């Protein structure tokens, strides 16, 4: 089995190479911070959670075996940590607010609208997705986020969530339907004439 670049870095971390850990941190810090933000809805706390997740990753380096992609292993650590944080009950946000332009740039999902109407629709769409995410179960939110925002395969999400692929497909299906319903509600509100066309 060919060892991927991330796994090689992690094996170097296990051998005490701090520059390898810095490289992994630089590569995944923004993704992990965004992932945490979708659970707590607070940027400062999301950054703290990301730091805690990387500390856990560092501490688990010696027990790491490259049987799964490092990204998958990292998101398993992140999922467990974020789910535990939410279960403590401190964070129950009404919904995840839209990202700032800086965060959108980090997401690589910024929509450059050509006019104010499109910009408004983009913000409203993002708000609708945030509202749908906040109403999902924590596991639905985790699975949907890893699939839609991180591009992870069902198999990898199943590993990260300690679930079967069938369970992951079900979680993502329910989450996708919830987002689609919220977007349909938004479109009906913004453009009522569309449904009559």
Which residue did the predictor score with more confidence, 63 or 79? Answer: 79
Q: Give the pLDDT band of residue 190 (cuts 50, 70, 90).
A: low
Q: Give the pLDDT band of residue 75 (cuts 50, 70, 90).
A: very high
pLDDT > 90? residue 98? no
DSSP class of 42: -
Render pLDDT for 117-142 as a digit per residue (tens, 0 to 9). Answer: 554 467 777 888 888 888 899 999 99
Determine the pLDDT at residue 94: 42
**Domains of the chain (ranges plus CATH)?**
1-93 (1.10.1740.10), 115-197 (1.10.10.10)
Q: C-alpha angle with apex 26: 159 to 5, nearest 5 degrees? A: 55
When pLDDT is averaged across residues 167-188 and rounded to a whole number, the result is: 91
| CA 107/CA 175 separation, integer angstroms | 20
Proportion of the chain above pLDDT 90, given as a percent: 57
When pLDDT is averaged across residues 9-31 and rounded to a whole number, the result is: 96
Which residue did the predictor score with more confidence, 119 or 189? Answer: 189
pLDDT > 70? residue 170? yes
Of the candidates 131, 139, 111, the one whose C-alpha atom is nearest the C-alpha of residue 183 is 131
| CA 60/CA 10 separation, integer angstroms | 10
pLDDT > 80? residue 15? yes
Let me know how long the chain is: 197
Q: Give the pLDDT band of residue 32 (cuts 50, 70, 90).
A: very high
pLDDT > 70? residue 2? no
């Amino acid at each position: 089995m060919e060892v991927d670049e991330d796994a090689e870095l992690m094996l170097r971390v296990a051998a005490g190479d701090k520059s390898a850990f810095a490289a992994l941190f630089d590569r995944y810090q923004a993704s992990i911070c965004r992932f945490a933000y979708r659970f707590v809805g607070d940027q400062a706390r999301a950054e703290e959670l990301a730091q805690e997740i990387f500390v856990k990753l560092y501490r688990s380096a010696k027990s790491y075996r490259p049987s799964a992609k490092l990204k998958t292993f990292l998101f398993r650590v992140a999922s467990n940590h974020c789910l535990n944080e939410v279960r403590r009950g401190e964070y129950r946000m009404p919904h995840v607010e839209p990202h700032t332009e800086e965060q959108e740039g980090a997401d690589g999902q910024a929509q450059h609208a050509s006019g104010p109407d499109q910009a408004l629709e983009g913000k409203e769409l993002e708000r609708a997705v945030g509202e749908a995410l906040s109403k999902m179960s924590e596991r639905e939110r985790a699975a949907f986020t890893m699939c839609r925002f991180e591009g992870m395969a069902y198999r990898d999400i199943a590993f990260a969530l300690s679930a079967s692929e069938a369970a992951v497909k079900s979680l993502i299906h329910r989450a996708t339907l919830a987002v689609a319903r919220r977007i349909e509600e938004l479109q009906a509100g913004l453009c009522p004439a569309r449904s009559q066309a």
